[in-house]
Amino acid sequence: MKKLPVKCPSCSDSLKVSQLSCEACETLISGSFDLPVLANLPREDQSFVLDFVLSGGSLKKMATQLNKSYPTVRNMLDEIIEKLNQIQN
């Protein structure tokens, strides 16, 4: 799967979505839309967040699933939280 670019390859500023399309009926919507905050995370962090939500928000389940210690998984979550805080500011 191709990775959605979130930074301009020329100046590194954040990209915005300018067009959405429906493959079924070929409707096109144009404008300037912000990317979802989570789309700005690296793919592995997005996967962690998805797995975390699907595990019911249980770090214990995540630790078992990832075969890592609870403190390691807690640190992973803390790092993602810090990245999200930086993205939002």
pLDDT score of 79: 97
Contact 43, 3 (CB under 8 A): yes
Beta strands in the chain (DSSP E): 17-21, 28-33
pLDDT score of 35: 86
Q: What is the DSSP letter of 83?
A: H
Place 2 in a pLDDT band, splitting at 50, 70 and 90: confident
CA–CA separation, 59 and 73 (whole Å): 7
pLDDT score of 66: 94
pLDDT of 21-65, one tens digit each? 999 999 999 999 988 899 989 999 999 999 999 999 999 999 999
Residue 1 reports pLDDT greater than 80: no
Element holding 59 (H helix, E strand):
helix 59-66
